[in-house]
Amino acid sequence: MSEEDFKTAIIEGYTFKKDSIIIGAAMLDGEPVEGLQVKIPLRSMNRHGLIAGATGTGKTKTLQIIAEQLSMKGVPCLLMDLKGDLSGLAQPGKLNEHITWRHQMIADPYEAKGSPIEFLSLSNEPGVKLRATVSEFGPVLLSKILELNDTQQGVIALVFKYSDDNNLPLLNLKDLKKLLQFLINEGKAEIVAEYGAISSASVATIMRKIIELEQQGAENFFGELSFDVQDLVRTDKDGNGVLSILRLTDIQDKPKLFSTFMLSLLAEVYSTFPEEGDADKPKLCIFIDEAHLIFDNASKALLDQIEAIVKLIRSKAVGIYFVTQNPTDLPEAVLSQLGLKVQHALRAFTAKDRKNIKQTAENYPLTDFYKTDEVLTSMGIGQALVTALNEKGIPTPLAATLLRAPASRMDILEQKEISAVINSSQLVKKYDQVIDSKSAYELLTKRLEKAGDKDHPKEMKSQRSKASKEVKESSTFENMSKNTMVRQMGNTLLREVTRALLRMLGVKR
């Protein structure tokens, strides 16, 4: 195939009727072809994507390029920043000879420009504090996060049912633990009478799972004021999409907290965003750096939930982009949903590496212009294999691409610059306050104090006495409790499906 054939294939494959972003110039035989632009149509940016490659090949800069180009088109983005590399998006970059040459090849003049950004935080990092209540998670999602079995999930469903029936708000993990303790101690008789017996062993296991989650910092995440996902879809006064940077540099060793947040966020976005149909551009794009942290050691139930949400959420005009070293870091069910693939160089140091490279090459469209597995090991920094979906949903030709330079700063912000961004934020002021509303913990504590008082109403004592009698009369009940509980918990779970969040999660069950 000749160079003219190559040019024709790229021009035809990357010419779109609707708006698009330019990410680089196509390359042939290791050299860029001047003016042969590689583009991504905005219309297909809700079809998700992958940015992959070995350490040091430029994945983070590619994330930066795509996010800032989307911002310029009015598309807000959420960026997971686990290494602290993305703060430079706020400030304009600097022109040099290499950038001038690179953009001459692309035939797109370089314009240094910063993007409007907002810093978010799950921990003690400065920024907008992200929180959610236990009640907002619901019993199904919480059970999947805690990796509970069917019997333990039934206990959680009962806890939520009891909290609803008795107006005991579950806001944080302290509330959840207090209610679990109450149900197997002071409230045991009442629970048996109304809902059936609960296994103390199951509750003990759940408590240990909650403590494990707390040890990864989840006590700071669960609570009020809950973050409103609508605050992720903002534009500035000039129409540029706001880039929300979630600073995660201090939770790299806390994957459970990270996956908890990600799953709750995706579920909340799906349950609250309206159906958008075939929008000309996405409403929100989410970039997940170090994506393997979500999938490593995740239970099958949790993986199934993530896969279901990835499949469904694009109908809300939301695109999810995974950034990782190797495509094999992602489950095949997720990988098959990704429309855009930007593959940086891979390194072949071992036989396993060579096998992974051949496997990776098979994930890309066939081409007459490259030996894909060879190109994967020969590309330099700032070069990548690119294929996207065109406006009709058909994969574009595979193009080895000289990527554009970021318009924003390639280095991180200084501390005073970070402080300036945070001090000017209205969202920081909105979410910085910690609200400790009267919830299950306080209400149950007060209730137990009254129960211990000599002047406690006789009706409450009579009710407990009656429930205790029912327990004694059923000598074989303990032996049957497990089966009875499973049936009752199943009914409770069915009722809980009416929750908005659980309706969504139940679609793929």
pLDDT, tens digit, 9 for 90 and up, residues 438-483: 677 677 777 666 655 544 444 444 444 444 444 344 433 344 334 4
Mean pLDDT computed over 198-209: 91
Residue 486 CB-density burial (10 A; 0-12 exposed, 13-18 middle, 19+ buried): middle
Question: What are the CA-CA distances from residue 18 to residues 21, 43, 280, 393 (Å)?
Answer: 10, 7, 7, 13
pLDDT, tens digit, 9 for 90 and up, residues 286-322: 998 888 877 776 667 667 777 888 888 989 999 999 9
Give me the residues paired with residue 321 across strands.
49, 287
Residue with the larger pLDDT of the pair 324 and 493? 324
Rounded Cα gap, residues 453 and 465, in angstroms: 16
Mean pLDDT computed over 3-25: 94
What domains, with CATH codes, occur in the chain?
3-130+229-256+273-413 (3.40.50.300), 141-220+438-506 (no CATH)
Which strand (E) or helix (H) includes residue 62?
A: helix 59-72
pLDDT-based confidence at residue 249 (cuts at 50, 70, 90): confident
Strand, helix or coil at 118? Answer: strand
pLDDT exceeds 60 at position 502: no
Mean pLDDT, rounded, of the chain: 83
User: In the chain, what percentage of residues exceed pLDDT 90?
Assistant: 48
pLDDT, tens digit, 9 for 90 and up, residues 17-42: 999 999 999 999 999 999 999 999 99
Two tokens, residue 294: 């979500």
Two tokens, residue 277: 């149909």
